[in-house]
Each structure stands twice: as C-alpha cells, then as structure tokens.
Structure 1
Amino acid sequence: MNTTSPTADLRGLFNPRSVAVIGASSTPGKWGFEYARQLLLGKSRRDIYLVNHKGGVVLESETYTSVQSLPVAPELAVICVPAAQVRSALDQVLDVGARYVVCVTAGFKEAGKEGGQLENEMRELVRAAGARLVGPNCVGLYDAAADFACTGFWTLPPGDIGIISQSGSVMLGLGRSLQRLDLGLSRAVSVGNQADLSVADFIESFALDPHTKIITAYIEEFRDGRRLFEAVEHSRSLGKDVILLAPQAGEAVGRSVASHTGSMISNEDILASVCAELDVVRVRGMGDLLLAIRGGKAPTRARSRRVAVVSDGGGTATLGADAAVAADLEVPAFSAGLIKALREISPKSPGIANPVDLVGVAFNLGAFQTALQAIASSGEVDSVLLTGDFDNAAGTIEGERVVAANIRDICSQSGMALSIATPLTAEPAMIAFTEYRVPVFDFAEEAARCLELGRHRSPVSTLIKSKNSSIFARDTDYIGSRSALADAGVAFSKALYAEDADRAAAAAESIGYPVVLKALGNLHKSDSGAVILGIPDEATLRAKVADLDKKLRPAGFSVEEMVTARDAIELLIGGVRDPAFGPTVVVAAGGTKTEVWRDRVVALAPIDEKTALRLLNSLRIAPLFAGFRGSSRINIQSVARSVVAMSEFVAQHSNVAEVEINPLIVGPENCVAVDARIVLSE
C-alpha cells in the first residue's frame, strides 16, 4: 500500500492553511454559527473566512458575500447551506480551487433517489477537480495537534485515540465518554454518506498520524469490506491498534441466493469470520468499545488468552473464572511447582490451582503481592484477573498507593496484564490503580472482557492479494460448471451428457455400472427427485430415463459414476461474490441437509492451503476428519487443495455471483466432487 498516496496523506484536510465556512450564520444553534465559532478558536493557526450572501458580521468577524470575493482560495471549504443550495456552493468552491470540502448538509442519498443522484454528481465533480469530499450528511472533523475543530458543539482534551464514525451522534457520544475516563482524542471524523472519502481512507490516514495510537471506527454499512480490512492490516503493521464498532451486519442486498451457499451466508457471517481470522477487535456496543480502549491503554497487555483468577474467597474466585471463560479467556491449571509455591504462601487456601482462593487475607490487598509475584515468575499465564473486597491495604492512604504501585510493577515487569473487579472502587488503592491506567471495575464480567479485548492481537492469516479478475464467459449449465471447476483444479467423478435413453445407455457402458442418473435443468435436482443413485443395469437405467422424462421434461441427462468411499464424509465448498465484501470462499458440512446443519465457515477469497486447513478444522464436524470410533482418517490435504482452487476461481471471475460443489465426497484416499453449480451476476 502506498502510504504517500493522496488518499492516505490527508494532512491538508486535518491541518489546512485556510478554511471558508459557506453559510456562516449569526444565529446560535445553526450549523453555520457553530462551525464558525469552533473554527475561529483556532484562527491563530490558520485563516478563517466566513461567507454569508447577506454580508454583515458573524462572531465579530466580517463576512464575504460570495466565494469569489474571498482574498485567497481556501484549502478547505465547509458547506453549511440548505440542500437545495449545496450544488451551487460546491461549484463555487471547486472553481476557486479548494482542495478539500466538508459538506455538513443532509438530504442526499438518505433522502431518496433524487438525493442519491445529486450525491453521485457531487462525488464526480469533486474527483474531476482533484479535490476530496467529507460527507455529505456529516458533523465534520477534529485534530487536536493542529488545534482544528471543524465541527460543532464540542471541545475535547488532546490524547492519542482516533475516532472514525458513520454516525455523528456516536462520534460525539464516544468523545464525551472518553473525556469522563480522562482520555483524549488525537483525531476524529464523521464520514457521513461517504460519497467520496470512506472509512477505509481514514483508517489509512489515521495510521500515518504520529499522534494517533488507537484507531476506532464505527461502521453501519460495509461498501468495500476487503479494502477496509486491508487498511486495518496496514495500520496494524505500522503499530496502530484498530477497534471496529460494528453492529450486526444485515443480509447482502442484490445477492441471487440461487445456491445453498448463497442462502446460508450473510454479511454477519463474513464479518465475524474475517475478524476472527485476522484477529481484529470487533465490538457491537459502546460499552465493549470503551472496555477495548481501556484494555489498550493499560500499562501491560496480555500476549495471549491465559489468565490467572485470584480472589479472596471461593465464591468470587468461581465467578471470576466463569467470567473469564465467558470472555473467551483460558484459565489453565497451574503446574505442581506453582501450586507448591502458592501453598507455602497461603497454607489454608482450599483452592489454589487456578482460580486461586487466598482465604484468610480478605480485605487486605497487600497480602496478594507475594502470590502475584509467584504467579508472575512462573510464566504460566499472561494476565491476572484480581477480584474481591480489597480494603485496608496498608493502613494509610499513602500505604495503599504504595501497595497498588508494587502490584502494578510486579505485573508490568513480568509482562502480565492486570484487571481488577471490586465493589470498593473508591478505596485509595483502587484510585491509584485507575491513575496508573490499570482497569478497575465493579464486576468480574467487565474486568475479564477488558483483558480479552485489550490483549495483543495475533492474526492467524493475512489477506492474499487477488489477481486481476476476468469475465467468466463459458457455459454455466451443469456440464459446463463441472468442466470449468475441473479445469480450476477440483477432481470430479466421471460424467457424460446424454440426450436420450440410447445415449444414456452408451454412457453408462463407458463409465461402468452402477451409475448415477441426473435430470438436467432443475436448480436443486435432489429436491425434485431428479437424482437417482446406484442404477445397476441397462434395463433399470432405461426405465429411469423414461420416468424422469415424463415427470420433469428435462433438458437432458448426466450419467455419472457412482462414487462410494469407506467412511466418506460429504462436504460443501463454494464461493459468493458479496456486494459488500467481494469474493468469498465457503466450507460447510454438505449433502442434502447442509442448510439444516448450518455448520459453515467463510473467508475472503483467495486463500492459501494453510488457511483452508484452518477453516476445515474449525467446522463442528472436524473431529470426524481424524477418524471417530473406528472410522478412517479422511484425506484432509486434498480437501484443502480443492478449497484453494474454489477460492481462486471465484476471486478470478468478477461476474461469478455464486459457485458451489455439493457434495464433495471425501474418504481416506479420494476427494471427489459429484455436483456443481455456477451462477453469474445479472
């Protein structure tokens, strides 16, 4: 990714030399007034020009009656006029040479077809002029280091957290929540309708900002999901944390869903799978977003999910361990050596194998120091969930603060993350922990979730750049689909096309009995009885051809070898070109009941063999692959190669909407596809 591209390098947008407010107003509460007020606070850093067609004075500043009358072309123009006047204002600011435009006004794509057409025209005008547009329907942007508040109603302390939001209210609300936590912003932007600049563009830009350490993005609509995740990967390669706040993604719009694959995969499936595969922090609510930020700002972050739960009582220890497991953390049993060390520290403790119940030291946080030191020295965990009623740590306020500092140092020096749950959050030690950025909560559920969301991320794979896609121009009937996927690298059973009973008999003789007979032309052949298995001889074959011809009037027949394999498993492999995420590959439990089992995983295509194996082994039926109760181990490597071939096929053909093989029959030696379907986009 070119980090010096005009998209990524938006320094002029966040620190412009000059700004013009088009539609400046003298009426408090109007956008034209509030934007002018905020921008004028930074007038020592840049020139601020106010444009009002009536002229006069706004906020003690003389206004200009037109854009053309400005003394210089503004680097940034903020459009605050009614929707009917936006096009004229945009023409004017582009004519004088503005490089960036922020359109606050609503009433475009979100208002209907005409508004959408006007929004498209705005985008084309801006791009033709070599400029960039934020919005429309947004609440602007903010840069603390540049003293630039191009938004209304708020002023926030500086910090190192960046906010990118499709919702202005979410951006403003998150900013205020961070302020209550004594955290500040480096940058913020409300992207609005994303007519031009998108969430992905701003993730790239924030990644280049030296003042931004944590990038948060609120996303309601995924337009180019692949590019967004490419931007996330790039940002993390530059050492920036990225947190996605994304409510449940809806179903894809415009997908044909003609196959099992298309009907069983939603945008939410894709989003959840990609976040898991790339280990991207994705939360679905503001509460979890704040937990993730607090975990990321903690003095130490866990390297993995292993946690020690340490408490002052059996009940709180049990609840803490349960909260850790619910948060997808691991509570490993301690080694014999660590158990022995803890037993010497607390001989009366009934449980110290993890969770740890340090009975007899309730209300005395100082007594936990030695136990935490032993746990830290063992290297057996990467984080500690400390829970209980901690009081009277050292008898004095200063003594409690010293104990808190000691515990913080024990954890930090050993690389262990620390999160605390206690009802006594107002105690001096807890206040000290909070000042040190150690997360302190009322409940273990929050403390555990904070550890998981704040840990260092370890992607299990990376996105593979797709080759230039072409148009698939071959036949997509059943025989054509089989041929195309066989050419792509998937092994198929023998099959011959037959127009009538005589040709079917000749085909069966060539293949060898028993055979399978399929009536062609029906989308879901098994649903209508168009598939007959295990035909033993010519007489039976001819009778079945006549029967299917009478019932279904098919376009023809496919005569195929009868595939049987000892201990075989039926799988589905397929792909969908999703409107929001592009080409994807799907692996699922197959057969006629695939939509009932709904055991499937999905990834952005193409993928490599290592990723294919990981997808296969994440299925619920994966224990069957290694052999179960005497059954044979299947040829999983051959399945992985077929999945890779499928992923490359869907990625390489831009007009393939869906593709599916179901079933793929997999045994100890062979991996053979016996059915195929390709659906082209309209």
Structure 2
Amino acid sequence: MHASSLNPFRNPSSVAVVGASDDHAKWGYWLANGALRGSARRQVYLINGSASTVQGQTAYNNISALPATPDLVVLCVPPRFVHDVVREALACGVKAFLGITAGVPDEAALGAMIRDAGARIIGPNSLGLFDGSSELQLAWGHFTPGPLAIISQSGQLGSEIANLGARVGMGVSRFISVGNQLDVTAAELLADLSDHEETKVIALYMESFTGGARLVETMRKLAAGGITTLVLTTGASDGSQRLAQSHTGSLTSALDTVDAACRAAGAIRVSTPTELVNTAHFLVAAAKPRGRRTAIVSDSGGQGGIAADTAALNGLETPVFSEALQGRLARILPAGAAVSNPVDLAGAGEANLHVYADLVEVLLDSGEVDAVVLSGYLGCYGEDTPSMEDRELEVVDRMGSIVARTGLSLVVHSMSAGSAAVTRLWERGVPTFNGIEFAMRTLASAAALAATPGRKLATPVRSDDTPRPGYWAARGLLESLGIPAPAGKLAQSRDDVVRAAETLGFPVVLKAGWLEHKSEHGGVKLGLGSLEQLLAAYDDMFARLGDGDYVVEEQDLRANTVEVLVGARSDRDFGPVVTVGAGGTETELHKDICVELAPVSKSTALEMIARLKCFPLLQGWRGRPATDIDALADIVVSVSEAVAANEHITEFEVNPIRVAPEGALAVDALVLTAAAVNA
C-alpha cells in the first residue's frame, strides 16, 4: 500500500464514530467527545442505533443513513456486530477503519474483507489514536500536543507513557495503539512519522517483532533524519525462544537480539516507561553526548562517590583528569579539594554559587570529557532560601550558555524535584533529575547513540546451495569461505583411518563427524600420538557409535591460543544474526557473547570482539603475546555473510576457533539447515 492509504489516520476530512454514547463510563463517550474537539477541522458523524442525539449532536442509526461517506470509521460496537458494520461501511465506500473493539470473531475473515475492498484498518483491539497537529483525538483521556510520538502494541502502556510525559511537560505529537495489527503494522506507522514535523522522538512498545527486519530499516532511516526511536519491550520475542541445537542459538536471549537490532537501527532500548520518558525528555531538550567520558562534580563527597559508582554501573567512563586540568580546577576550589574526577567542591558552592558554572566551563572546554554531571544541592538554594533564587538562576543561565556554546552535555542531579532553578535548567537545555540513577542511566542511553548511530545492512551475493550434513561437509564450507582449518581426512572404515595416518602429522584428533555435540557423546578423542592410539580410539568409537563419517585431523599445538566461538543463525523475526564469544566446551558456563544483525563489516566485527570480557586474553594477558585479532574478525565477517546469503542455513557455528599470534584456526564446526532442523 502507498503511504497515502494512511492519510485518513493522520488528518481525516470526516470521522464517523459507530457506538457513540452519552455514558461517561463507556468508550463510545470518549471517542465521540474526542472527535468533536476537532469538529472545526472536520465533519464528525455520531452513530447510535437507539438514540437521536449524542452529546448534543445529531445521531444517526447507521452508516448508510449518513449524508456523506466518512473518511474514517471508528468501530466501537460489541464484537458480534463488527463484521456487519464493516460490510455496510465498505458498501458505502469507506476506505479506513479504527478498530477499538476487542475479541472480534474470525479476525482473518474481517481482514480479508477489508483488504479485498482496498481499505485499511488499525486494530482491532486498539486503544485509539491522537494527532496533535491535526486536532484528531480518537482515544480515552486527554492529550497535550508536544514532540513525543507513541506507537504501542499495548494501548494502556502507551497511555502510561503519555501520562508520564505530561508530568514532565512533554506532550504528544502522535499516539497510535496498533492493537492486533490485522492490517496496518507498526513499521508502516513508524515510517509515516518521517515527515511529521512535530515529532522529535518516538516511543515504540512492542511485545512481538514479526517483520523485525523492516522495523530496523525504518528506524534506521528515521535516525538518519534526526528522529530517534526508543524501544520498550517485554523480552518475549518468540523468534529467539525456539529450541536451539547449537551453542549459538542457546546462548542468546530475545533481548540480545532486540539490542542488536537497536544498534543496527540507531535506536535505544529502554527497560521501563519512566526510563523511556526520561530519555525522550533528554533527547528533546539537550544535545546528544558525543561519547561516554564523564566528569562528576559534587558538593558532597558521598554523593560524588555514589555518582561515580552509578556511572560505572551504566557503562560511563570517569577518566582521571590530566595534571594540567587538575591544576586549573584546583585554582578554583579550596585547598585540598578533590580534583582528579570526581570533583568535590569542598564547600565552595555555598561561598560562591558561580563556582558551579566556573567548573562546568573549565571541564567542557578541556577536551577531556564528553559530559559533566553535577550532583547535589544545586537547584535547592533558591527553594530553601528565597533571597538566593535570583543568583541561582543567574548561574543556571550561565551554564546554559556554556552548554550552547560547546555543544556538549551537562546533566544535573538535584535534591529538588521542581524548583524554579530545576525548571530553568530544563529550559536552558540541561536535563535535571531528582535521582542520580535516573541521571546516569539517561546519560548512558543517550551516549550509546554516539557509538551506534545505525548501519545499513549489506546484501551479500545470494547462494542457493543447501549444505550437506556432518562435520566433513562443514569443513568444506569453511574452505569455500577461506576459513583455515587443520589438515584432515575423511575415514569411513578402519583402512581409511590407517591411510589418513600416513598423510597427517601426529598427534591427531579423531571425531565422529555426524554428531552435533561430539564431546557429550564421546565422539571426539584428542592427543592421539601414534597409529596404535588412533586405531584404538577408532575401535572404541565404532563399537559404541557404529558406522558413519569419521574425521581424522592434525591437532593444533600452537602456544598462547585463546578459544573463541563464532556463530550465526537465522532469527525468525529479525533475520540473520551473528554471535562471537568465549569458546570451547565451557561456552555455556562463561556466557561471554556479543550479538549483531548480520552481515557485519570488518570494523563491526572488531567492535564485537572488543566488547567481550575475554578480549584482554586476545590482546595478550600478563605478558603473553597478542593473538591475531584481525584473523578472528575476518572469520566473523565470513560466517555472518554465509548465513545472510543462504536462506537454507539456519545455524552455522564454528567452535572453537583457536586464535594464536600466528593466526586463527577453526577446529570444529556445525552447520544446520531448515531441512535438518525439521527432520
């Protein structure tokens, strides 16, 4: 459908509310009341089968009785009547419906009827919609126009977000409860915000992510246009909650994948409605931080210490200042004041309120930080001592000017919740919070955008080859991708084992190549240093496991290796994803992983590796030489591209990859196809 098919949901020329009521306790009252508020902009028709007037306006018995065909019909009737009302409306030429009613029988048939007529529907089971720019309100409650768009799969949660926004003075540009998404999807409604001038930031609540790849691309385009999407979810994306047959699938959670999607989209995932509203308020009021380097300034040593701990918990950096910067700070503060970061005012604020602004100016001009957090009493001076209010506001105005000049971030944690100074701080582009945890969490979320502004996913050359099952075939795939593996031979008999030993160097490894988890079934034997040991291992495996494709490989004996897992799989909602993590037989124990949407570039692969807890081992731990991280990154790229290019591959895991200073070697691999998983 073209974007024009959504116009009736943005600014309809006329609206008909079916089920309009005078009863304040009914949805029909609020829908009619809201529609009538926009009657100066559009014709409003109220339909009630048993009343001649509703809310002082003429009421019609049915849609056929209307003097003209409405642009948008709101369905607020008992479920059993919905099909008949829609059928009548379509016969009259209606092309758009807002379905409020829940529990509509045979929704699939309703959707087919609407689509066959070339019409659209938001819902059913929608809490309604609002557009501040067109004075369109078809929802329960009251909305104030503002910069926050809300698209929610839960209508009530969407209303909570709107209410929380109202409490901090942030109104709503557009509110849409998507309901059951029988026709119009959240991705379409997101895309429809790209030219909505009033929208500056978007709140998106989703419980499932069907069609997630389209959502990601839509959010990425919005981010490129300056509109950030804040994603709130329950973590119940069932696309990642299926039975997994590899470490790659079992280690990742739904939220890992949603987080990867947000990074690719240039979006931010938040955990609660409060965090969402705080972050939205920050993004609307202030410049986005350029990084995570944070200076902490406090007029209390205790508050400064807690601020530093909270910053660390949220992934913010609190670097030690250079000696030169510490010297400049020391000249402003009393002797003995802490100046390394955090900075303790040591009572200087009470003596001279302008010390706050002096410190902010020195820090933001230093080039050593991306943001400053002030924690403590600022905001309370004028509230507690009214004679100080004007001086405090002067300091606030000065800090606002410094922020505007530098383009950097200043965040305040104030012990006051709503003083004149706190209000002025927000007005001057300085986000201010009553709890240090809110200040740091919000700053960290906003700072994440600097590191993950979004990336367009490449489209690799498609491959239609269906990989054969088993480890020997997986080795062939590794070879085709240029991923090094140990020298090896296929053995289907005892004689094959002998011939393999003649061409390979000892020690060797024997594997039962058809097993997905070899070590769990005694299907792998390491350190076989002679033909006699190799044959004994083969005889034992054959007796227990029977016929099959056995593989004999040279064992990697290189020193200073680190074992890493690289895997990729096809997520039902978001498509291909790639995982890198600590590898080996203890992979599940470590749970040290990073996930991104696939395919990834070399630079993204390197970023993933750098986020691992085991990264210091790869860099060279306690005097050990650094490993070949570039070679590992090349494997991450190749595996991600392989799954992205071949729809037959559901999972592709290389584990472990032994990364040494001399390069990376894949010593085991597993490839699963859709046919194998469903067999």
Which of 385, 394, 418 matches 2:373? 385
Structure-to-structure mapping, 1:243-258, within 5 angstroms: 243-249=230-236, 252=239, 255-258=242-245
2: distance between equivalents of 1:29 and 1:553?
A: 73
Task: Structure 1: give runs of 5+ residues left out of the alignment.
Answer: 109-114
2: distance between equivalents of 1:124 and 1:259?
A: 39
Q: Does the 8 A contact of 1:294 with 1:437 survive in 2?
A: no
Q: Secondary structure at the match of 1:516?
A: strand
Q: Does the 8 A contact of 2:289 with 2:450 survive in 1?
A: no
1:528 lines up with 2:521 in the alignment:
yes
1:458 positional shift: 2.0
2: distance between equivalents of 1:376 and 1:102?
A: 50
Partner of 2:136: 148
Amino acid at match of 1:614: E
Structure-to-structure mapping, 1:230-379, within 5 angstroms: 230-249=217-236, 252=239, 255-276=242-263, 280-363=267-350, 365-379=353-367
Q: Does the 8 A contact of 1:394 with 1:403 survive in 2?
A: no
1:141 positional shift: 0.7
Q: Does the 8 A contact of 1:224 with 1:580 survive in 2?
A: yes
Partner of 1:494: 487
1:250 positional shift: 5.4
Partner of 1:438: 430
1:22 positional shift: 2.7
Q: Secondary structure at the match of 2:147?
A: strand
Structure-to-structure mapping, 1:95-174, within 5 angstroms: 95-107=91-103, 118-152=106-140, 154-174=141-161
2: distance between equivalents of 1:321 and 1:518?
A: 51
Amino acid at match of 1:90: V
Q: Which moved more, 1:637-646 or 1:560-569?
A: 560-569
Partner of 1:111: none
1:566 positional shift: 2.5
Partner of 1:211: 198
1:412 lines up with 2:412 in the alignment:
no
1:356 positional shift: 1.8
1:210 positional shift: 0.9
Which of 162, 165, 172 matches 1:175? 162
The one-character-per-residue Cα deviations of 1:606-625 (angstroms, maximum 9, x if unpaired) are 11111112212221111122
Partner of 1:66: 62
Partner of 1:84: 80
2: distance between equivalents of 1:165 and 1:58?
A: 30
Which of 449, 467, 482 matches 1:457? 449
The one-character-per-residue Cα deviations of 1:227-248 (angstroms, maximum 9, x if unpaired) are 2222111101111122112233
Distance change in 2, residues 1:444/1:540 (3 Å): closer
Amino acid at match of 2:124: P
The one-character-per-residue Cα deviations of 1:518-552 (angstroms, maximum 9, x if unpaired) are 22433311111111223334443333322212112
Q: Secondary structure at the match of 2:566?
A: strand
Q: Secondary structure at the match of 1:625?
A: helix
1:298 positional shift: 2.6
1:347 positional shift: 3.4
Q: Secondary structure at the match of 2:365?
A: helix
Q: Secondary structure at the match of 1:378?
A: coil
Task: Structure 2: give runs of 5+ residues left out of the alignment.
Answer: none
Partner of 2:634: 641
1:516 lines up with 2:503 in the alignment:
no
Partner of 1:112: none
Q: Secondary structure at the match of 1:614?
A: helix
The one-character-per-residue Cα deviations of 1:218-266 (angstroms, maximum 9, x if unpaired) are 2222223322222111101111122112233456466341112111112
Partner of 2:7: 11
Q: Does the 8 A contact of 1:167 with 1:192 survive in 2?
A: yes
Distance change in 2, residues 1:126/1:325 (3 Å): same
Distance change in 2, residues 1:605/1:95 (3 Å): farther
1: distance between equivalents of 2:284 and 2:630?
A: 42
Amino acid at match of 2:168: L
Q: Does the 8 A contact of 1:252 with 1:266 survive in 2?
A: no
Distance change in 2, residues 1:449/1:33 (3 Å): same
Q: Does the 8 A contact of 1:585 with 1:602 survive in 2?
A: yes
1:365 positional shift: 2.8
2: distance between equivalents of 1:264 and 1:582?
A: 17
Which of 529, 552, 561 matches 1:559? 552
Q: How many residues align?
A: 669
1:416 positional shift: 3.2
Structure-to-structure mapping, 1:563-642, within 5 angstroms: 563-642=556-635
Q: Does the 8 A contact of 1:279 with 1:459 survive in 2?
A: no
1:63 positional shift: 3.3
Q: Secondary structure at the match of 1:63?
A: strand
Q: Which moved more, 1:176-185 or 1:505-514?
A: 505-514
2: distance between equivalents of 1:328 and 1:678?
A: 36
Q: Secondary structure at the match of 2:297?
A: strand
2: distance between equivalents of 1:458 and 1:374?
A: 23
1:468 positional shift: 7.4
Amino acid at match of 1:48: V
1:303 positional shift: 2.4
Amino acid at match of 1:16: P
Q: Secondary structure at the match of 1:395?
A: helix
Distance change in 2, residues 1:380/1:511 (3 Å): closer
Q: Percent identity over the alignment?
A: 33
Distance change in 2, residues 1:428/1:258 (3 Å): closer
Distance change in 2, residues 1:50/1:226 (3 Å): same
2: distance between equivalents of 1:670 and 1:373?
A: 48
1: distance between equivalents of 2:177 and 2:462?
A: 33
Structure-to-structure mapping, 1:385-404, within 5 angstroms: 385-390=373-378, 391=381, 395-404=387-396
Amino acid at match of 2:472: I
Q: Does the 8 A contact of 1:362 with 1:389 survive in 2?
A: no
1:349 positional shift: 4.5
The one-character-per-residue Cα deviations of 1:84-131 (angstroms, maximum 9, x if unpaired) are 2323333333343333221111126xxxxxx6xx33333344333333
Distance change in 2, residues 1:628/1:214 (3 Å): same
Distance change in 2, residues 1:279/1:330 (3 Å): farther
2: distance between equivalents of 1:586 and 1:8?
A: 40
**TM-score, normalised relative to structure 1:** 0.91
Distance change in 2, residues 1:22/1:654 (3 Å): farther
Q: Does the 8 A contact of 1:403 with 1:429 survive in 2?
A: no
Partner of 2:662: 669
Distance change in 2, residues 1:288/1:343 (3 Å): same
1:411 positional shift: 2.7
**TM-score, normalised relative to structure 2:** 0.91
1:605 positional shift: 0.9
Amino acid at match of 2:570: R
2: distance between equivalents of 1:546 and 1:649?
A: 36
Distance change in 2, residues 1:633/1:410 (3 Å): closer
Q: Secondary structure at the match of 1:457?
A: helix
1:666 positional shift: 2.5
Partner of 2:33: 37
The one-character-per-residue Cα deviations of 1:529-580 (angstroms, maximum 9, x if unpaired) are 1112233344433333222121122433222333332322222211121122
Q: Secondary structure at the match of 1:572?
A: strand
2: distance between equivalents of 1:442 and 1:478?
A: 58
Amino acid at match of 2:399: I
Q: Which moved more, 1:176-185 or 1:452-461?
A: 452-461
Q: Secondary structure at the match of 2:372?
A: strand
Distance change in 2, residues 1:470/1:63 (3 Å): farther
Distance change in 2, residues 1:630/1:337 (3 Å): closer
Q: Does the 8 A contact of 1:142 with 1:189 survive in 2?
A: yes
Partner of 2:538: 545
Distance change in 2, residues 1:200/1:522 (3 Å): same
The one-character-per-residue Cα deviations of 1:105-162 (angstroms, maximum 9, x if unpaired) are 1126xxxxxx6xx33333344333333321121111100110000112x222211111
